[in-house]
Structure 1
């Protein structure tokens, strides 16, 4: 155990997860690569949990942050801020929500927390619909709407949460149905659920593609079908775009746009990638919803000059260089190569754009968290950083920065295939030795 690991464990909570049998400290990065304290270089295919959206040390962001830091770092929302207003104007326009207003926070957890406050205040109800297998943050309120037991340490909540089918296409009572039948069955289940609820329901909060849940999703159009039901009951739709926003899925700028035939959500939350590593999140909502609070509120750090200046530079770079189109092309390349490898350890390769999930099984064909852990270790040894998740801990999460080049995509795919093959050999050898 290195001295830093020992010190880390002495002063941080036991539940604070750290990757790898021998954890690494990342000291600097450039483009799609990072270096650890020992000088080893890695191709980064996880981006600090989908947060380094464009690139490490992106010059435009570094310049904007440095220039802003040289003027003033902090003011709070009690004062006007040009970069905050400019970023809010651009996000409101991009959101697709009519008459939109924006409130900035410091994280996705806080953004979802604020969205829940708005919805429950607007509807005068603490009843919330959420998706099974979902994850929305680690605060007291967001844990209460997280449908994934691995990330929900407490049953206590200020909210009454009702969980809906549809977040996982390949598992559950409707998995055997066609896409159209699956959507119809989930919608009928939602209708039935609402007949059994006493009093109004505030909102449905849902990730268009579930992040921590293993990059799972229902068919396109599912949330449009849900929204038609919600609209009849006056229930708000909150689209959690913390991981799916800003064009990462390639096909759409926002994840909700795969379900756009019923119109935009009432509320949209964002975070992670927009700051490219800066602590940034926020809520977009119809003005009627955003303005519903009848008590004073401010944000000490949300929308700070330095984070909004950096985020604005990051967003402009993304739009100017069509990184959504690049995510679509590079994601298709990665997905095709991984599927074509035909590895026995891989049960499914799924996702959209540069948001790819690889579901793993053991030699008996069962979901295997041990397989995912083994691949993570092998990939690290080969110089590739990836993530993992899923309800059973058996899904690799692949989400490189959206400036990924074709040679890097090919290199990363080859390294991952090698890591998968090595892990399979390790698992089969362990099984043979029993």
Structure 2
């Protein structure tokens, strides 16, 4: 049998790259050559959406939603809705790129950009991951203090234990971890059903809050919180992670396999992120109904919210449910940052690090700022730090979104599966909104002082 030399070269290069860069974060799970089983049924592709959705309801989301609802009532519910829709669209684009190309966003950046650009993008993404991890550390520490009465400093240190406990589940593959993450998400959802029932919100006012408010462009405080909501909802490293988690889902590179994988991934993505939106909207609605309606508009701190929510709604269980849901979100969110850190390090630099080492490195960098904030400001400085970390995420977001949309619309890379027409226009519109919001926030910060 005659074989074209160029074909042999291409096969050799592909095999070399596959050996140096495994197709999944956990090599024992599902390499691209095997793909999910069950004959292409949609539920065989489920799981990645739950891991990504974790980043949409972490303690940073709690801080921004709580501050938004307490200070401005239902007015910023519009921002939560728009940010969630933008997140769904961009995660859909990221998963599509991963399934169709068999490569993740970081790998594509490495292939198509120069070394300096790649290094800059990697550093920016690592900053975003550390900022997110700071929020998770502080949020988990506050939850531990509220539930068990331990100091915030001890809570910060104990939060590292939760990271390794969650990641230990991956020793048996990714499925056990996905099941635990999904169970915790459902637990948080039930908690907020309880909180909504106790808060008795004004649903007519909440419906009006879905409409845009002109005050958003005039009020510096509202704009700051809007940027925080955006950064807390659409996280840059989640785009890298999603493309990594699904890149092995197509058994072959034929259209049938890719089409089956995309259908399953789409259902998983929209269902998981839809649930995350319900949780975030519920948190803002509870804050508006309990704190803003009672005149406690300055409630921004998670500890203050926990202290006030029980007497204001007339039930001691409100505080317990609040703290338990916060701890569940903090534990879940530790997984996302570690897996995303592995993805970007391997994709940009071709450096592989064990999960425990990656978690230890990221958490060590995050614990420093968290301990400084706790020492300087105590529990009342936690929320300011949480919101600030989400603004950092918003500033980093264009550096992930713009390359992602460019790759997704490239016909040479994506073929018939490229993103085009209305979805492409909406994706570029999202990028424009993110850049404009960040620009307006920076303008007000510089010139409004």
| TM-score normalised to structure 1 length | 0.29
Which has the larger share of strand? 1
Bigger relative contact order (CA 8 A; separation at least 6): 2
TM-score by length of structure 2 reads 0.29
> By percentage of residues, which structure has more helix?
2
